Amino acid sequence: MRKNWIKKTSAAVLGLILTGSLLAGCGSGSGTAAQGADEPQAQETEAEAAGTEAADAAENENAGFRTLEEIQASGKITIGVFSDKSPFGYVDENGEYQGYDVYFGNRIAQDLGVELEYVSTEAASRIEYLQTGKVDIILANFTVTPERAEEVDFALPYMNVALGVVSHNDRVITDLSQITADDQVIVISGTTAETYLTKNNPEIKLQKFDTYATAKSAFENGTGVAWANDNTEVIAFAAENEGYTVGIDSLGSADTIAPAVTKGNETLLNWLNEEIVKLGEEKFFHADYEATLVDTYGPEFEETLVVEGGGQAAAPAQN
Amino acid sequence: MQALGIDVLFKGINMQRLLGGLWISLRISLIAVAFSIVLGLVVGVLMAGDNPVIKAVTRVYLEIVRVMPQMVLLFIVFFGTTRVFGWNIEAEIASIIVFTFWGTAEMADLVRGALISIPRHQYESAAALGMEEGQIYRRIIIPQTLRRLIPLSINLVTRMIKTTSLAMMIGVVEVLKVGQQIIEANRKSSPHAAFGVYACVFLLYFAACWPISMFSRYLERKWS
C-alpha cells in the first residue's frame, strides 16, 4: 500500500512539473517571431530581449506577423488552408489545392501581385499558426466566434453557417412549431444543433447519436421526423440522397466564416476588408460558389451560404 | 474495384503523390535515425558509466522523453521556439529535431541495457588474459553489445518511421496525410475510397519497413 502511494504521488508531482513547464513554454511567448530570414541580426537581439520583455508580453503577444508591405516586398504570401475538407479546402488528384477557400486565396495572391504558398493546417493548430506568424492569413473554413476573436483578427466574412433541419419529403418541416410532442428530432451529440435545441426549444424531444453515420441511418430508417445539424451538412445530405428536403436552412444565431490574420496586423486586415468589399461589386463569391460548392449544395442555397462584400456583417445578427 | 476505392489511387497523379509523401516520411525518419544512432551510442555509453551527475542528467532526459507525447514535443519545437526565441524552424527540420531527441533517448537506453548485460566476468577474464582496456572493448564487449542491440534498435527504427505521421499536425504533408487528402477529395464520387487508400498506405509503410527487418536478420545471422 505504502509503496503504491509513493508511486502515485511522485507520478503526480512529475506530471505537475511537466505541465507547468509546458504551460510556461507555450504561454509566456513574448512574440518575437522572425520577420524574415533576411534580418538575422534583428532576430538575435529580439531573442535576447525576449526574457526582459516578458512584462510586455500581453501587449506584444503577436508581434510575429508580416505587414502588407513586407509581404509585397518579399513577393510571396503564405496562406493556411485545409487540405482535406472538401469542398472548402482540399487537394485534387493533380496535387492542386481546390475549394471555396482556395478559390478566394488564389484571388488574394493575384490581386496582391505575389506568389502563393499554401500550408496544410489542422483545425486544432489554426490559431497557433497565426500567433507565431508562420502563415499570413488563415482561410480554413474559420468560423468567427468571440473566443477566437480575442486570439486573432477576423476580416469581413465571406460565408454563412447556421443550423439547418432536413426532413422526409412526405412531411417537410419548415418551422419548428410543426414538430408535435410525439415527434422526435435527431441530433448528433456535442454539436451546436444539440446545444441550440436544448436551450431554445426544450419542448422538442431529441434523439441523440454519437456519430454522423449512426444519426444518418437512424434518420433514413424513419426514427425521427427531422434531423438538425450544421446547414452545410444537411444541405449536402439532401442533395446526395433522394427523398429528403431541407425545410429550414438557417436556424439559430447565424455564424459567419471569415479570413483571419495575426492579431494587430492592421495593414493586412484593412487590405483584406477592402478587397472583400471590392470583390462584392463583381459578385466574386457567387462565382466562387458556382465554381466550387454548387456540386455539393445545389444552386438553391447560394443566397443562404454566400456572403458578398462582407455584407451581412453590418446587418443585425438574427436570432 | 470501384467499391473498394482502388480506382482513386490511379486518378491523376495520386500514386505519385502517395510515393512523394512516403519519401518525405522516410527522409524525416531516416535522417533522425542516423543522428539517433550516433548520439544514442555516445549517450548510452555515458549512461552505463559511473559518473553520478551524468547518470542523473541522462535519467531526467530519458524520463522526459518517455512521459512527453511526441505530439507535444512537435508543438513545442515548431510553435514554442517561435514564440519564445523567435526562431522560425521549418516544419520538416522541427520534425527531425523532435524525432532525433526522442530516438537518441531510446537508443541510449538500449545501448546502456546492452552494455550492462555483458557479465562482469567477461571483462575480468579478458583482463586476466592480459588484454588492455581498449582491446577488451574492441574484441570482447563491443561485438557482443552490437549483436544484442540489433533487434532492439530495428524495432525503434520502424517505430520512428511509423510515428512520422504525427508531423502532419505541423503542416508536413507526409504519406498518411496525402492518403487522407485523396479520400476526402473523392468523398462524393467514391465514398468507400478509404479502404483502398488506407490499404495502399499500409503497403507503402510495409515496403519501407520490411527491407529494414530483412537487413537486421541478415546482420544477426552474419554475426552469430
pLDDT digits (tens, 9 = 90+) for A66-119: 999 999 999 999 999 999 888 899 999 899 999 999 999 999 999 999 999 999
DSSP one-letter string for A82-122: -SEETTTEEE-TTS-EESHHHHHHHHHHHHHT-EEEEEE--
How do residues B181-202 score in pLDDT, each as one tens digit? 998 888 777 777 888 899 999 9
> Is B2 part of a structural domain of the chain?
no
- CATH number, position B113: 1.10.3720.10
User: Mean pLDDT throughout B6-18?
Assistant: 89
C-alpha to C-alpha distance for B67 and A15, rounded to whole angstroms = 8
Could you give the ipTM of this predicted complex? 0.79
Number of domains forming the structure of chain B: 1
* Residue ending a domain, choose from A254, A281, A304: A254
What is the pLDDT at residue A59? 39
Question: Looking at the structure, do residues A292 and A147 belong to the same domain, yes or no?
Answer: yes
Q: At B3, is the pLDDT very low, low, confident or very high (cuts 50, 70, 90)?
A: low
What is the pLDDT at residue A261? 96
C-alpha to C-alpha distance for A91 and A97, rounded to whole angstroms = 4
> Is A229 part of a structural domain of the chain?
yes
Interchain contact B89–A (C-beta under 8 A): no
Q: Which of B72, B181, B187, B189 to mutate to test the interface with A (most CBs of A within 10 A)?
A: B181
Name the residue of chain A whose CA is nearest to B179's CA.
A84
The SS3 of residue A62 is coil
**Cβ–Cβ under 8 Å, residues A229 and A161:** no
Name the residue of chain A whose CA is nearest to B187's CA.
A86
Question: Looking at the structure, do residues A105 and A241 belong to the same domain, yes or no?
Answer: no
Question: Looking at the structure, do residues A195 and A243 belong to the same domain, yes or no?
Answer: yes
Question: Looking at the structure, do residues A151 and A178 belong to the same domain, yes or no?
Answer: no
- Which CB contacts under 8 angstroms, 24+ apart, belong to A54-60? A54/A28, A54/A30, A56/A30, A57/A28, A57/A29, A57/A30, A57/A31, A60/A30, A60/A31
What is the pLDDT at residue A213? 77
The dihedral built from the CA positions of residue A183, A226, A245 and A163, taken in this order, carries a sign that is positive
Domain of B48 in residue numbering reads as 7-223
Which of residues A40 and A177 earns the better pLDDT score?
A: A177
> Is A80 part of a structural domain of the chain?
yes
> Is A40 part of a structural domain of the chain?
no
Question: Looking at the structure, do residues A169 and A233 belong to the same domain, yes or no?
Answer: yes
As a whole number of Å, the end-to-end CA separation of chain A is 58
Number of domains forming the structure of chain A: 2
- Sequence-ordered strand ranges (E) for chain A: 76-81, 84-85, 89-91, 97-98, 115-120, 137-138, 152-154, 159-168, 184-188, 205-209, 226-230, 244-257, 260-262
Q: Which of B8, B73, B74, B82 to mutate to test the interface with A (most CBs of A within 10 A)?
A: B82
> Is A168 part of a structural domain of the chain?
yes
The SS3 of residue A156 is coil
> Is B88 part of a structural domain of the chain?
yes
**Cβ–Cβ under 8 Å, residues A184 and A223:** yes
Interacting residues of B131 by C-beta distance below 8 A, sequence separation 6+: B139, B140
Name the residue of chain B whose CA is nearest to A89's CA.
B185
Domain of A221 in residue numbering reads as 161-254
Check CB contact under 8 Å for A33 and B13. Answer: no
Question: Looking at the structure, do residues A224 and A268 belong to the same domain, yes or no?
Answer: no
- List A188's β-bridge partners, or say none: A209
Share of chain B above pLDDT 90, in %: 63
> Is A27 part of a structural domain of the chain?
no
What is the maximal distance between C-alpha atoms in chain A?
A: 75
Nearest-neighbour CA in chain A from B76: distance (Å): 7
Q: What does pLDDT average to over chain A?
A: 80
B99 has pLDDT over 50: yes
How do residues A116-135 score in pLDDT, each as one tens digit? 999 999 888 899 999 999 99
Check CB contact under 8 Å for A134 and B82. Answer: yes
* Residue ending a domain, choose from A254, A282, A299: A254
> Is A247 part of a structural domain of the chain?
yes
Sheet holding A226-230, edge to edge: A205-209, A184-188, A226-230, A159-168, A244-257
- CATH number, position A125: 3.40.190.10
The SS3 of residue A152 is strand
Interchain contact A58–B (C-beta under 8 A): no
Q: Which helix (H) or strand (E) holds A189?
A: none
Contact residues on chain B for A132, CB-CB shorter than 8 A: 79, 82-83
Treating both helix axes as pointing N-terminal to C-terminal, what angle do B175-185 and B193-223 enclose, rounded to 10 degrees?
Answer: 160
Nearest-neighbour CA in chain B from A237: distance (Å): 11
Contact residues on chain A for B168, CB-CB shorter than 8 A: 120, 122
